[in-house]
Amino acid sequence: MTDMIETAKRALGLVDLTNLNDDCTSADITGLVGRTVTDHGSVAAVCVWPRFVAQAANELKGTGVRVATVVNFPEGGEDTDAVLAETRQAIADGADEIDLVMAYRAFVSGRKGFAEEQIIRVKEALPAPVLLKVILETGEIGDPLLIHAASNVAIAAGADFIKTSTGKAAVNATLEVAEIMLTVIEEARRDDGERVIGFKPAGGIRTSEDAASYLALADRIMGRNWVSAHTFRFGASGLLDALIATIEGGGHTPNQGY
- Non-local (6+) Cβ contacts of 117 within 8 A are 80, 157
Rounded distance between C-alpha atoms, residue 102 and residue 105, angstroms? 8
Would you mind telling me the total number of residues written for the chain in this entry?
258
Of 16, 200, 210, 241, which one is the catalytic site residue?
200
Q: Which of 106, 108, 103 is nearest to 120 (CA)?
A: 103
The amino acid at 41: G
194, with CB counted inside 10 A (0-12, 13-18, 19+), is exposed
Catalytic residue flag (residue 133): no
- At 39, is the secondary structure helix, strand, or coil? coil
Contacts of 181-189 with C-beta under 8 Å, sequence gap 24+, read 181/136, 181/138, 181/147, 181/151, 182/217, 182/218, 182/221, 182/222, 183/148, 183/221, 184/148, 184/151, 184/152, 184/155, 185/151, 185/155, 185/221, 185/222, 186/221, 186/222, 188/152, 188/155, 189/222
Of 99, 160, 210, 241, which one is the catalytic site residue?
99
The amino acid at 75: E
Q: Kindly provide the b/e burial profile for residues 221-232, where b requires at least 16 CB atoms within 10 angstroms of the residue's own CB.
A: bbeeebbebebb
- Active site residues per annotation: 99, 163, 200
